[in-house]
Structure 1
Amino acid sequence: MMLSCSALVVALLLSQVRGFLGPSEDDDNNVPEEWVLLHVVQGHIGAGNYSYLRLNHDGRIILHMQSLKGDADLYVSDKTLRPSFDTYKLQSVTCGQDVVVVPGDFARPVGIGIYGHPSYKESEFEMRVFYDQTAPQDPFEKGSYTSEDGYKQKRFPQAAEEDFQEEESIFWTILIGLLKIILEILF
């Protein structure tokens, strides 16, 4: 009788310790089957500092971040690649698990800022990036078409067109710079 009570107490303590140690493999079971794991990012961030990531994937993306040590907060923007607590569109600033759902209509690339809360000298985090397959796709999305076999395809602009635009931009930058120099010499 005493041995079975001891075994029960040990089992209870082990389950409690496992819960305090952080996320378990069972957490993956809480994720819907329709979500596809794209990336797992782990890192450390000092107090009051930012670490930045860039999201290029199209569609509805779920950022699921767990603070393993300390407290890391999550800031997301489609307007800047360096979002902060002053410039962001989406945020999650909980103690522990932070989740942000990036809508499919956000302009890509999306900037992700991970902030180390100043109340901890260092924060350690793990972020899982999921793609939600259940999000409806816009059939009128620019550059998309349906192939003969009925599958949605995406047309990508040809590299030559992008290179031309980049060369044109560099040309104008140089030309404007030369004009500024000539104007400074003349006046």
Structure 2
Amino acid sequence: MIFVLVFVFGILANVLTINCQFVSNQNGELDAGNWSYYKYTQKYQFRLVLESLNGDCDLYASDKVPYVDYSNYDLQSITYGNDEILIESSMRRPIYVSVYAHPYYANCKYNLRQYREENEYNSYKEHSESLKHDDDDDKQEVKLDTKNDEESEDKENFFWWLFINLIEILAEVIL
């Protein structure tokens, strides 16, 4: 039964995954209780993945505070192991990010990777913005893209419906 659950969730995760493109990599080393600071100016949506290679590092981000800490942040990920945060394209730029070395460990090493997240909505949005200044003939292309966007939204809604129904069925079987 558990194997079936893992298999179904694995398939759904692959179907609903957004395309990612590697952008940058930062390696660092911190003593206990210290911070490293980064600034990102890219306007697109991206994901930051912090991998603690030695010790435990935490990830904080803000679009307001240049020196983000555990009391002033907009986004955080403070798990043991890999930490991830998604920076939406709607957030103000620049994005300030800090990595904190947990005081329990004398020395922490980390790898901070940035991935550009590309989904169909963002692709359509960028494409339509580039067409704003084109001739009236190009407006037909935008209408065609809108249909494709609606079709992909229908597919996404179907997968969410399927996912929710599978969860309900599994809950009934377990209970």
TM-score (ref. length: structure 1): 0.57
Deviations 1:58-111 (A, max 9, x none): 121100111000011000001112110010000001111001011111101000
Instruction: Give distance in 1, aligned partners of 2:115 and 2:83.
Output: 14
Partner of 2:107: 122
Deviations 1:10-69 (A, max 9, x none): xxxxxxxxxxxxxxxxxxxxxx57101000111111111110000111121100111000
Q: Which 4+ residue blocks in structure 1 deviate beyond 2 angstroms?
A: 135-141, 147-151
Percent of aligned pairs sharing the same letter: 28
Partner of 1:46: 31
Unmatched segments (≥5 aa) in structure 2: 1-16, 143-175
C-alpha displacement of 1:138: 9.7
| Aligned pair partner of 1:66 in 51, 57, 64 | 51
Instruction: Give distance in 2, aligned partners of 1:33 and 1:110.
Output: 21
C-alpha displacement of 1:128: 1.2
Aligned residue runs from structure 1 range 137-152, under 5 A: 137=122, 144-146=129-131, 147-148=133-134
Larger deviation, residues 126-135 vs 77-86: 126-135
| Aligned pair partner of 2:71 in 86, 95, 100 | 86
Equivalenced residue count is: 119
Deviations 1:100-143 (A, max 9, x none): 011111101000010010000111001110011116349889xx
Q: Which protein shows a greater Rg?
A: 1
- Asked if residue 109 in structure 1 is aligned to residue 94 in structure 2, the reply is yes
Give SS of 2:76's match.
strand
Corresponding letter in the other structure for 1:99: E
Is the helix fraction higher in 1 or 2? 2
Partner of 1:134: 119
Q: Give the alignment's Cα RMSD to 1 decimal.
A: 2.6
